[in-house]
Amino acid sequence: MTPLTPARPPGRPRSGINDVVFAATLSTVRELGYARATVERIAAAAGIAKTTIYRRWPTKGALIVDCLLDAFGPVPLEGGSRAEIVSSAVRWTAGKIGEPGVGDAFAGVFSDGVSDPELREILSSRLQDPYRLALQEALGEPEHRVLFLIDVVVGTLLHRMGMTGEPMVDGDVDALVEMVLPLFHREPDSP
Amino acid sequence: MTPLTPARPPGRPRSGINDVVFAATLSTVRELGYARATVERIAAAAGIAKTTIYRRWPTKGALIVDCLLDAFGPVPLEGGSRAEIVSSAVRWTAGKIGEPGVGDAFAGVFSDGVSDPELREILSSRLQDPYRLALQEALGEPEHRVLFLIDVVVGTLLHRMGMTGEPMVDGDVDALVEMVLPLFHREPDSP
DNA sequence: TGGTTTCGGAACCTAAGGTAGCGCAATTCG
DNA sequence: CGAATTGCGCTACCTTAGGTTCCGAAACCA
């Protein structure tokens, strides 16, 4: 029998530094901004060597995406009605992007992806697709309508963050929720 | 009398290469993407020296912003009703961002601004403010509501462009127009 | 003890934004 | 015409940052 999880691969095991690196990444981005948060500075803040980071993540973009995945976690979709699901998802997104360092890191890695197709693929498949699929499932909506919702919500929040350097205030998040709710007022599967 | 426009300052006059540089910028961005459209390559495509570009624009970001201002031109606001004004402005924005090279350059310079406060100031004051003021005037709306509209429209279009590499298709632009129109259905000055 | 993998560290490569200085060209002013 | 002034092309250079290479040492397994 070949065990599904071999007890442990040979060689020195990896030390549990992912959490330390993620924390160091966010705090460095928060203090210095995305561009000045170099891999070398992040490694120094985490107390490890730069080569150790490149042994685990192929590029800076991949590191940021994993850091964002860790910071976001799963989207809460416990609302009863579709309106409640959309509303809570939008507010959750705004809250996460408003957390210190998260919005900067998100906007920065998104920016890098503009002219880097490989990073764009990582962003799309690892970061956007899981949330898109969860929303499609919860709302019973086709892919292109959920993609449109994500474009509107994330695009608006990142544009505000990018132009002002500050997250969107609660009053405008309320307006954003009210604006997107009519997109999903019609029940898609009702007889 | 001191003439308002002195005939000509002493010294060798600047050659009229701005248009050539703008064209070279857009075509280089279109062919290579934003990050690989280096100032050196843009200068080569324009047939001039890199130092000549830096003699006229202090940074690459300032060059891109001027190039975008040239590409966009004034926003058409001839619509009769507020709904027509908003609708035409949104479609005009989507069309411009969809032009070859323009969307890439816009998304790229916006991305750079995320971690560059000076560039963000240039973007805000030179690119966003003129259009914001024209819209405030045409719609009779306060600053924060027009800023919200710009965040939604530009943010959504850039997010689509950044995630897919392609401009938004007409059907989704229609949905974007329908989504933002209710924001301005109430007349602000009616008795 | 030997095999295997990881870590830290230093040196290095490349690309790109941006600068400095020189010689020359074009134009205005006296 | 000549002098001063300004723009252009060119070369070389500086700095930062992403990413790689290589080596010795550490940690784990058999």
The CATH superfamily of B18-184 is Tetracycline Repressor, domain 2 (1.10.357.10)
- Nearest protein residue to nucleotide D21 (CA to C1' distance) is A51
Tens-digit pLDDT profile for residues A52-72: 999 999 999 999 999 999 999
Q: Which residue in the set B34, B144, B152 is minimally distant from A156, CB to CB?
A: B152
By CB atoms closer than 10 A (0-12, 13-18, 19+), residue B172 is buried
Measured CA B51 to C1' C22 distance, in angstroms: 13
Q: Which residues of B touch A162 (CB under 8 A)?
A: 110-111, 113-114, 120
State whether residue A60 sits within 8 Å of chain B by CB. no
- Signed CA dihedral, A155, A161, A164, A170: sign only: positive
Give me the pLDDT at residue B112, please.
86
Distances (CA, A) of B154 to A31, B115, B131: 28, 19, 12
By CB atoms closer than 10 A (0-12, 13-18, 19+), residue B40 is exposed
Give me the pLDDT at residue B115, please.
84
> Quick check: A152 and A94 in contact, CB under 8 A?
no
Average pLDDT, chain A: 92
Q: 3-state class of B185 per DSSP?
A: coil
Measured CA B154 to C1' C1 distance, in angstroms: 66
Residue A73 reports pLDDT greater than 90: yes
Tens-digit pLDDT profile for residues A88-112: 999 999 999 999 999 999 999 998 8
Domain boundaries, given as residue ranges, for chain B: 18-184
Q: 3-state class of B100 per DSSP?
A: coil
CA–CA dist A161, B60 (Å, integer): 22
Give me the pLDDT at residue A78, please.
82
Low-confidence ranges of chain B (pLDDT < 70): 1-7, 186-191
Q: Which residues of A touch B104 (CB under 8 A)?
A: 114-115
Which one-letter DSSP state was computed for residue B126? I
Q: A150 beta carbon < 7 A from strand C?
A: no
Measured CA B14 to C1' C29 distance, in angstroms: 19
Tens-digit pLDDT profile for residues B81-127: 999 999 999 999 999 999 999 999 999 999 889 888 999 999 999 99
Q: Which residue in the set B104, B154, B172 is minimally distant from A148, CB to CB?
A: B172
> Quick check: A174 and A128 in contact, CB under 8 A?
no
Phi-psi region of A116 (alpha: psi -120 to 50; beta: other; left: phi over 0): beta
Give which of B152, B170, B179, B184 to mutate to test A binding, by max A Cβ within 10 Å.
Answer: B152
**Closest nt by CA–C1' to A55:** C6
